[in-house]
Structure 1
């Protein structure tokens, strides 16, 4: 499907028609390499002792990833990326670099989040040759903050080494794109000063394919204990724009449903459009249109519908984001 035509239909269904049965396939796709993780970060549901009990730990297989790519290809989506971020650390799946290779053969740009601990220089060299990608990695400018938030000792210097090598490769190879996020704001420090400190720590030569950001957090799973104030309700765009898929093929409404609370179908068993416009997906959208997110298991603890606005809710931001992917 033509990219601009796809986005126009998306905008019409989401903002104008507000329909639950959609005349287009998902625009963005996320698929989970694994839901296992070697970190237990304070800001992540993985830190919850009961998180791993909510669904079995498993791995995406090469065979199933090829199946997914074929089904994605058959619906002719408008964008040219694939996201490997849902739950877990992707490099705990031994086939993850092969997934990047297979995506590149489909002319897809790979996007993933990683804690960076397993991306050794040798692994980076293999990753660079696999295909184009953007890695989003969380870091802190202070070792004590890092070890406290990420609940992991003796990894700070290792991650610094890995990041410096990734930055070096980003300056040499256009396949390598990085987003380095400073998580220090979670500890209450001055975000601007902390970000400058982190840049200096990893500098001095930062190529243009490396960007630094301050990571802010919202309570997408209800695990942070924030009290959500019900301010102005805003219709969440995700069930109209994207599909997230767990390692075993279950379709969930967005990449924030890390526990797969709302399973809307299975794309390994059915085709994408059958799931996308199935009764479970339509009911999920209708509950949001009715301003009753609490009826959706994935939404009932999320603060996003009542987040009080901000630039991420502006249509200009949403569609610039879609066009840029």
Structure 2
């Protein structure tokens, strides 16, 4: 009965609230119980009533590192990122997980390539033994046979490979041969089917002005092989682009950068919206701390910080409805 109710609720949320039908399955993965959905519901009520507090954190994105092994032409990491680079201390990771054991899931990515972290497998296992679901995004370059086998044994629930275009278009964006990543994904699928069918495999494609024609080719090549294909528009920064509050400030997710700095949004690549530090403070304390309450208050009054004002990530009037 619970599974049926969750299915119905997720379909309603995706269709009528988010207006993105492909998000229904992701909602079911992120919030697998009625208790999780109820927590998110309470968070949304806090936003609706313009409260500066929100009920609770339900998920965390960990930036295991902001180092990357590629230099993609749309990404700031190896081009113009100013902040210091490093790797998250395993002790910090364990500290956060141990004090937030009721999380519905954790994502092991933000800026950078998570598979570069020397403790990535141990981090996933640490969450698995505590019954916390894990997912991550990767560029796929490090998906060797050994890495894939380790991931399959770790308990990872979902892996998404970024695949922007095909053929020469992919090389122009990512700087490496498409065939190399294609082979790695096929190897991942093959080993998954043999060893751990519970792992979901996705492909995520950012749509650029010159890659819209690749959508059909990606669908033709990967439909039926991977569990889900995600098409999303390129992030657009514009002056005075924001017209409404950012739902993420209430929804129940925080991002912990590699050095412990906590920010409310993944778009903040430089960590300017510093809400606190997970070395010194608990996640729940930061979630309803003075800084988070202040930024919620600003959004509720239409007074957006500069980085928020230029963000169009959570408005739909600027992106093509084809990709919404």
Q: TM-score normalised to the size of structure 1?
A: 0.80
Say whether 1:277 aligns with 2:288. yes
| Counterpart selection for 2:200 from 177, 188, 191 | 177
Q: Deviations over 1:241-260 (max 9, x none)?
A: 21111111111011222221
* Displacement of 1:240: 0.8
Runs of 5+ consecutive residues of structure 1 not aligned to the other structure? 318-325
Shift of 1:183: 4.0
Among 121, 125, 136, the residue aligned to 1:97: 121
Instruction: Judge conservation of contact 1:36–1:88 (CA < 8 Å) in 2.
Output: yes
- Indicate whether 1:148 and 2:175 are aligned: no
How do residues 126-137 of structure 1 correspond to structure 2 at under 5 angstroms?
Answer: 126-137=150-161
- 2:184 aligns to what? 162
Q: Secondary structure at the match of 1:259?
A: coil
Distance 1:145 1:311, change over 3 A: closer
Q: Secondary structure at the match of 2:143?
A: coil
Residue 141 of structure 1 and its aligned partner are, at CA, apart by: 4.9
Using the alignment, how far apart are the partners of 2:120 and 2:287 within structure 1? 26
TM-aligned CA deviation for residue 196 of structure 1: 2.9
1:190 maps to 2:223: no
* Aligned position for 1:212: 229
Tell me the residue number matched to 2:88.
60
Do residues 50 (structure 1) and 80 (structure 2) align? Answer: yes
CA distance in 1, matches of 2:294, 2:288: 10
Report what 1:323 is aligned to.
none
Q: Which runs of 5+ in 2 are unaligned?
A: 1-33
Pairs aligned (count):
287
| Structure 1 residues 193 and 8, CA gap change in structure 2 (3 angstroms) | closer
Moved more, 96-105 or 184-193: 184-193
RMSD of aligned alpha carbons: 2.6
Task: Answer yes or no: is the 8 Å Cα contact 1:243–1:251 preserved in 2.
Answer: yes
Displacement of 1:35 in angstroms is 0.6
SS at match of 2:277: coil
- Please point out which of 260, 281, 292 is paired with 1:249: 260
Q: Assess if the C-alpha contact under 8 Å between 2:163 and 2:203 holds in 1.
A: yes
C-alpha contact (below 8 Å) 1:182/1:194 kept by paired residues: no
Of residues 51, 54, 78 in structure 2, which corresponds to 1:19? 51
CA distance in 2, matches of 1:12, 1:183: 32
The alpha-carbon deviation at position 174 of structure 1 amounts to 2.5
Deviation for aligned residue 1:176: 2.0
The answer on whether the counterparts of 1:85 and 1:255 sit within 8 Å (CA) in structure 2 is: no
CA contact (8 A) 2:141 2:184 kept: yes
TM-score of the superposed pair, with normalisation by structure 2: 0.80
Tell me which of 25, 41, 46 is aligned to 1:8.
41
In 2: Cα distance, 1:42 partner to 1:303 partner: 20
Q: Which residue of 36, 40, 51 corresponds with 2:67?
A: 36
Output one character per residue of 1:13-35: Cα deviation in whole Å (capped at 9) or x when no partner: 012x110122x221221111101
